[in-house]
Copies of this chain bind each other. A is one copy, B any other.
Amino acid sequence: MSLKMGMVGGGAGSFIGSVHRMAARLDGNIEVVAGCFSSKPEKSISLAKEYGVPRAYSSYQEMFEAESKLPEGERIDFVSVVTPTGGHYEVIMEALKYGFNIVSDKPLCITIDQAKEIYDKVKETGVEFCLTHNYTGYPCVKDAKNLIESGAIGKVIRVTVEYPQGWLMGLPEADRKSAWRFDPTKGVSFTMADIGCHAANLAEYITGMRIKDVCADLQSIIAAPLDDDGTVLLKFDSGVKGVLWASSVLSGELNGLNIRVYCEKGFIAWRQEEPNKMFVKYLDKPDEIFRPGDGSLGEFAQGFVRLPAGHPEGFIEAFGNIYDEFAKTLEAKKKGEVYKGDYPTVEDGYHLVRFINKVLESNSKQAWVSVD
């Protein structure tokens, strides 16, 4: 059984649109059959052709309308929303009117009010909703979560999560000025919204805890008036403390998301740039390195590995795991079965929009602020 996907956004120049298509197609169970890649009809058609997508639309409203009239089995099973963040709210709300299942890029939207509205509507309609915090798709991240859950290394006592990038320093000024990400009328935050939320999600996913309070110190080196670098002291709902920092202006950093989760008996360290290794260090025995395929990952995490040990999988494959779990959930639902896919949900999205906004509030007040 193959699922049918319609994409909104992801046109020319969109890195993330191309990633969503490769990820969706990787395992042969999702076909990209429709797309609105541009508001100009001829442009949307030519991009659709270039991307190998049969049905092109020039507005998402048109796409939802037309697709909803197609017979089941032909019409799209879900919408993939990869527009700039500022557009998510409207596209998602419109898709929900038609009852389409949804995959949305992160963050969910801009304001807490928008997020609450989306959350309520998703709950009301009962559609499946997946937010592509793709870093939770890596097998080693899943194994880290399981290792914590197992209790084998004790309770969490501290968390350090970092997301340094440096690309903004290399971006020509002209590009910066024209980009939606840096337009303060289209978003409240640059770096915390772009990558800080990934770091928060990663920490919450692995530990099973929620960030409850934040004390932030942000700065803006290039993206003024928006933040492009900042540190956040964290308190989780469990009482555990930690620190999260993210930056887009650190020349030399690439895509350096990494986390260390410290527990009573040892700690877990994982780095996105070398994703096929999970380090576990203990108080009183040799460090361990877990890797896909060599018998070290638990059964659940190993289930997300496509290749034998030592054959590196990367970003696209991890992203594909998010899509594949969403696909399995939809497929089960179509068959009247239940499969609870392992992917971020609208609850996560709502929470993380609050996180972003409260970090900004804390920074303004130079004080601790509660997230929820």
Residues of A at under 8 Å CB distance from B? 2, 15, 18-19, 21-22, 25-26, 28, 51-52, 154, 157-158, 160, 162, 165-167, 169-170, 215, 217, 219, 221, 229, 231, 233, 241-243, 245, 247, 249-256, 262-267, 272-276, 280-291, 293-296, 306-317, 366-368
Q: Give bound CA distance, A295 to B251, whole Å.
A: 12
CB <8 Å contact, B251 and A52: no
Q: Top 8 closest A-B pairs, CB basis? A: A254-B310, A255-B310, A252-B281, A312-B314, A284-B295, A251-B283, A286-B288, A286-B296
Nearest chain B CB to A276's CB is how many angstroms away? 8
A286 to B278, CA, bound (A): 10
Whether A170 contacts B312 in the complex (CB less than 8 A), given A217-B233, A247-B158, A250-B267, comes out as: no
Given that A287-B252, A289-B287, A367-B367 are known contacts, is A315 also in contact with B307, CB under 8 Å in the complex? Answer: yes
CA distance A284 to B245 in the complex (A): 23
In the complex, chain B residues whose CB is within 8 Å of the CB of A295: 170, 283-285
Q: For residue A170, give the distance in angstroms from its CB to the closest CB of chain B.
A: 5
Nearest B-chain residue to A169, judged by Cβ = B283
Q: Which residue of B lies closest to A255 (CB)?
A: B310
CB < 8 Å neighbour of A310 from B256, B308, B317: B256
Q: With contacts A231-B241, A252-B262, A284-B295 known, what are 8 further pairs, Cβ within 8 A?
A: A22-B306, A154-B251, A157-B229, A229-B241, A251-B263, A253-B262, A314-B314, A316-B316
Q: Are A283 and B314 in contact (CB under 8 A)?
A: no
Q: How many chain copies does the complex carry?
A: 4
In the complex, A312 Cα to B368 Cα: how many Å? Answer: 36
19 contacts between A and B (CB under 8 A): A22-B306, A26-B26, A157-B249, A215-B215, A215-B366, A251-B263, A251-B265, A251-B267, A251-B283, A254-B308, A272-B310, A273-B276, A273-B312, A285-B296, A286-B288, A289-B289, A307-B316, A313-B316, A316-B317
Query: Does A245 contact B289, Cβ atoms closer than 8 Å?
Result: no
C-alpha gap A19/B313 in the complex (Å): 12
> In the complex the two chains form, is B291's CB within 8 Å of A289's CB?
no
- A217→B231 contact, CB < 8 A: no
Of chain B, the residue at the smallest CB distance from A296 is B286
B251 adjacent to A266 (CB under 8 Å)? yes
Complex CA distance for A315 and B311, rounded to whole angstroms: 6
* Cβ distance A311 to chain B, nearest Cβ, rounded Å: 4
Report how far A295 CA is from B283 CA in the complex, Å.
8
> By the criterion CB–CB under 8 Å, are A251 and B217 in contact?
no
Report whether B247 and A283 are in contact in the complex, using a CB–CB cutoff of 8 Å: no
Query: Do A255 and B309 have beta carbons less than 8 Å apart?
Result: yes
Closest-by-CB residue of B relative to A32 is B28
A165: which B residues are within 8 A, CB to CB?
310
A167 in contact with B254 (CB, 8 Å): no
Contact A243-B231, Cβ < 8 Å, known A251-B266, A316-B313, A317-B316: yes
With A309-B167, A312-B314, A314-B314 known as contacts, the answer to whether A283 contacts B233 (CB < 8 A) is no
